[in-house]
Structure 1
Amino acid sequence: MQNIVKGQAKALRVFQIGVVGASRDAFAALSRIFGVTRYRTRSYQAVPLAVNAKQVDDAIDFIILCTSNPNVLNYWQSRRPQGKALGRPLIRIEKGAAESKDGYVISAPVNPSRLLRQLDQYTIKEMNFFPEFQIGSESDELCETTLEGLKLLKKDGSSVNKRYGLQRALVVDDSLAVRKQIEIEFGLLDTEVDCVDSAEAAIDASAKTAYDIIFMDVVMPGMDGYAACKRIKRSPLNKNTPIVLLTSRSSSFDKIKGTLAGCDTYLVKPINHNEFESVVNKYFSEIRTQAR
């Protein structure tokens, strides 16, 4: 069995923002705005791009057009230069611009807080980057930012992020909040979920149903997750099912116990949306389907 060890939830990422058509002062202003984000889990860095660039670095995540010149707009919106970054969203900064249906128009002069808030939304919607939603966090409440992020991940119901072979999951945790948090994550993948609150109940469920993946807490009243993992790995229906153990313990001894129990992945809580996604992506590849 392969054992993957994850650390404490830290989803630090710097998004490269290609800036086209900005004056020297405007580019400096954007750089100052982005500089505020340098200590966040999600930060931004401005990268100058020529209005007639022939090549765009693949590391560019978004492109901002700071121009109303129709020739420049046509070049970047229709022909565009070469590079993998071509698939990245174009954000237009226009003077007195009204809200557009796709939300990728920002009115000038730019309000720094609004710009960063919109970029945060774009990274959730376009890059599926959502470090704020944490499983096993101390707070059980879903703040407004989290709720808005979940709505963006659902993409207004137009599509769901299904995975090949991932149809049914088992979630085992004595915490109702954690069960609900993981259930929300699987809901975004259009996956059926069975939730139980004890290791004994997990063993009973795994004896009756074949699951595609199991997320299980380690510390629970009665039998712990290690013992349950061993039992489930001996069951005919789920002996090959990936089991992800969730725990607040991060010592080497606990990780070894997880490996010996036969778990496939050992995660230290709290884990965020992107860490959850990385585990799911390890075993199931994405397919795009229209929502039913």
Structure 2
Amino acid sequence: MNQTLAQQDTKPHNQRFVLEMLGFSETEKALLASTFRLTGRRAFCYAEPTGPTERADVYLVNADNPSGLQQLQQRVPNAYAPALLVGRVPDASPWPVVEKPIRWMKLFELLDQTMLAALTMRSGRPASAEGQWDGRSFRRAVDRHAPPPEFLAPAPAESVLVVDDSATVRAFMRSRLAPFRFDVDYAENGEAAVGMAQAKRYTCIFLDVVMPGMDGYQVCKRIKSDPATRETAVVMLSSKSSPFDKFRGSWAGCDAYLGKPVGEDELLATIGRFLPSARRVALSILARA
């Protein structure tokens, strides 16, 4: 699911799903809730119930807490309103499991896959039973005449530019940055990147080193030598990670140098370092790893 979404060049239409957390402590719920708020700009976004009458679309359960599993049984999950377990694998459980420590992207991927399967099941129900489900309405038949919950996509917190001539790398970075409320643009070459950086203020630029034409070192020098863009953080991405290559990046003025393939923890640490709006959540996720 995420791979398909990541390959789209246009911003996807948001679908809001109500997620209820069962068996977690208040501290764990607070951390998870802050993480789920990052999904506001994704194609599938997840939010806690806004009131006691709002029914869950999906349940997230601490499988290591017997109370959480008991609460899940009381909710009677099914193919239309599924569950996702966190922790150990209960015997004969039909629901997918995310192992601890939680990896944020793995969690989002499994949630997307679980909800996609639920949407497929929902689409096969007779229209007379539920009416047409548009991704924003309540899911129960008793709620079909209620107005859909208002969905307001949060404004982007900061602007990010990803520069890479590889469509695969751009898709990878799209999926990794999607959970955060960033306004993300993409460029396929150095010339385009310099022009975009001059036309729009970016908080951070993820910059490939090896590109046809102007390479990443040249682009970085141009950005850092321009008074209008020198404060923009430049993070270079390269499969070349020798001390000499890192020295060249530092000499060009880059603020950080990440080797390819980019590790999830390294990317989270970089986001926490250069993008203040996501710092608290990124570092909190790292602390739980």
How does the TM-score come out when normalised to structure 2? 0.51
Aligned in 2, Cα 1:238/1:104: closer, same or farther, shift over 3 Å? Answer: same
Instruction: Report how far residue 190 of structure 1 moved.
Output: 2.6
**Structure 2 Cα separation of the partners of residues 190 and 256 of structure 1:** 32
Judging changes above 3 Å, is the alpha-carbon distance between structure 1 residues 228 and 159 closer, same or farther for their aligned structure 2 residues? Answer: same
Q: Shift of residue 63 of structure 1?
A: 6.8
**Residues in 2 aligned to 1:251 and 1:128: alpha-carbon distance in whole angstroms:** 29
**1:26 corresponds to which residue?**
none
**Paired residue for 2:113?**
148
Which position in structure 2 is the counterpart of 1:64?
64
- Give the C-alpha shift of residue 131 in structure 1: 6.3
Q: Relative contact order (C-alpha < 8 Å, sep 6+): which is higher?
A: 1
- SS class of match (1:211): coil
Residues 244/159 of structure 1: CA separation in 2 closer, same or farther (3 Å cut):
farther
Matched, 1:181 2:176: no
Question: Does structure 2 retain, via aligned residues, the 8 Å contact 1:64–1:92?
Answer: no
The 1:192–1:232 alpha-carbon spacing in structure 2 relative to 1, beyond 3 Å, is same
Deviations 1:202-245 (A, max 9, x none): 11211222111101100011121011101101122220111110
The AA in structure 2 aligned to 1:130 is: M
Counterpart for residue 119 of structure 1: 98
CA deviations over 1:153-175 (Å, ceiling 9, x no partner): xxx998989886x2x11111111
Structure 2, unaligned runs of 5 or more = 1-22, 24-61, 117-134, 137-150, 282-289
Q: Provide the rounded CA distance (Å) in 1 between the counterparts of 2:84 and 2:264.
A: 24
Pairwise mapping of residues 98-177 of structure 1 onto structure 2 (< 5 A)? 98-99=76-77, 103=83, 110-111=91-92, 117-120=96-99, 127-130=102-105, 148=113, 166=158, 168-177=159-168
Choose between structure 1 and 2: higher strand proportion.
Answer: 1
Separation in 1, partners of 2:69, 2:236 = 41
TM, length-normalised to structure 1: 0.50
Quote the Cα distance in structure 1 between the aligned partners of 2:107 and 2:241: 21
- Equivalent of 2:211, from 220, 228, 247? 220
Q: Distance in 2 between matches of 1:171 and 1:260?
A: 21
Letter in 1 for 2:65: L
Residues paired across the two proteins, number: 185
> Structure 1 residues 201, 104: CA separation in 2 closer, same or farther (over 3 Å shift)?
closer
Residues 282 and 149 from structure 1, CA distance in 2 versus in 1: closer, same or farther, beyond 3 angstroms?
farther
Please report how far the alpha carbon of residue 200 of structure 1 lies from its aligned counterpart in structure 2 after TM superposition.
Answer: 1.5
Distance, in Å, in 2 between the alignment partners of 1:246 and 1:148 is 29
Q: Structure 1: any 5+ residue segments left out of the alignment?
A: 1-17, 19-61, 67-72, 74-89, 134-143
Larger radius of gyration: 1
- CA gap of 1:149–1:271, structure 2 versus 1, over 3 A, is farther
Residues 118, 247 of structure 1: alpha-carbon distance in 2 compared, 3 angstrom cutoff: same
Sort the Cα spacing of 1:255 and 1:249 in 2 relative to 1 into closer, same or farther, 3 A. same
Q: Which structure has the highest helix share of the two? A: 2
- Among the aligned pairs, what percent are the same residue? 31
Three-state SS of the structure 2 residue aligned to 1:192 is: strand
1:181 CA drift (Å):
2.4
Any idea what SS the aligned residue of 1:188 has? coil
1:201 to 162, 177, 192: 192
Q: What is the one-letter code of the residue matched to 2:64?
A: I
Query: SS in structure 2 opposite 1:270?
Result: coil
RMSD (CA atoms) = 4.3
TM-superposed deviation, 1:118: 1.3
Q: Deviations over 1:56-108 (max 9, x none)?
A: xxxxxx67234xxxxxx5xxxxxxxxxxxxxxxx55598899437683679x9
User: What SS does the corresponding residue of 1:64 show, helix, strand or coil?
Assistant: coil
